[in-house]
Structure 1
Amino acid sequence: MESKIFVQAQMLIRKPINEVFEAFINPEITTNFWFTKSSGKLVEGETILWEWEMYDAKSEVKVHQIIPNQLIKTTWGLFSNNVDYEFKEMEKGTLVIIKSFGYSETRDKLLSVINDNTGGFTTVLDGCKAYLEHGINLRLIEDKFPSK
């Protein structure tokens, strides 16, 4: 049974909405703050492979809908959770809201997934903010779970 619970992370990024939106669909930018490798740009109706080489991890990302500068709807992850990325133009920049939902896990496993998603998407938004606003790759994803 699918849970009605969702995770939400958000961050104001002080850049124009078109730049912030492009950062999430274009792997040449996204690899500076999130995954290390991608099979291509996010395109509606296609499935893309994202990789985190330092963890030997991969995930297929199915792109369901793209509304330029507004919304990206995807399904991805081990259990095919829904992940939506919303972009809202604000006076000081762009508000990015990431929502993850559609969990099939229950009890302790659900709590673990919620914790991982909340922390993970917050880290992604922090890294995106640092990269887009200041040109700094903080290596947050790489350093989140150091091997040594």
Structure 2
Amino acid sequence: MAPLQTTATIQIAKPISEVFDAVIDPKKMSNYFIANGSGPMEEGKQVIWKFPEFDVIVPVQVLQVKKDALISFQWEGAKDHQLQVDILFSERFGNATLVKVTEGSMENNEEGIKWLKGNTEGWANFLACLKAYLEYNINLRKGAFDYMKAE
């Protein structure tokens, strides 16, 4: 069986440079995804992300950055698995931007299927939150995952 890979795509009605910047800049990311980050995503550097819902830090190794085209990084996308995430940006008609996220890969087994479901859902949420922030200045993530905090 072929390895599993998550994919999520959305179109955002904003120029590509604005969308790209919202993903590499931790101050902007804190409006829709992370609580804070240690620095901008730059090729060859490691950044640390802190999420508002969890008391963990997430090291992110930035592999490649091509302005207004690609951000590629590696992180622990599944327990004990370093996975690569590629975020691709492409211009669309009307000054819009298509954003596609892929992450992978995992074996096609029970663990991989559980990861595929959760991370596909997670990346779709990331993109919806990015769109809401850029187009409407709304933070959809705020309070959305409070139910997941340890009680």
Q: Same fold (TM over 0.5)?
A: yes
Please show how residues 46-65 of structure 1 align to structure 2 within 5 Å: 46-65=45-64
Q: Distance in 1 between matches of 2:10 and 2:146?
A: 22
- Same amino acid, percent of matched pairs: 31
Aligned length: 144
Hey, what does 2:35 align to over in structure 1?
Answer: 36
Please show how residues 1-148 of structure 1 align to structure 2 within 5 Å: 4-77=3-76, 78=79, 79-92=81-94, 93-103=96-106, 105=107, 107-139=109-141, 142-144=143-145, 146=147, 147=149
What is the SS of the residue equivalent to 2:138?
Answer: coil
Q: Distance in 1 between matches of 2:97 and 2:145?
A: 25
What is the SS of the residue equivalent to 2:68?
Answer: coil
Shift of 1:58: 2.1
Shift of 1:107: 1.6
Q: What's the CA shift string for 1:71-106, capped at 9, x where partnerless?
A: 011111241101000000001300000000132x55
CA contact (8 A) 2:4 2:108 kept: no
Please, what is the CA RMSD of the aligned residues?
A: 1.6
The residue type equivalent to 2:111 in the other structure is: K
Could you state the TM-score of these two structures normalised by the residue count of structure 1?
0.90
The residue type equivalent to 1:112 in the other structure is: K
Q: What's the CA shift string for 1:97-119, capped at 9, x where partnerless?
A: 0000132x552111111011100
Q: Distance in 1 between matches of 2:44 and 2:70?
A: 14
Q: Distance in 2 between matches of 1:30 and 1:5?
A: 27
Could you state the TM-score of these two structures normalised by the residue count of structure 2?
0.89
Q: Distance in 1 between matches of 2:70 and 2:4?
A: 20
CA contact (8 A) 2:37 2:48 kept: yes
Unaligned runs of 5+ in 2: none
The residue type equivalent to 2:110 in the other structure is: D
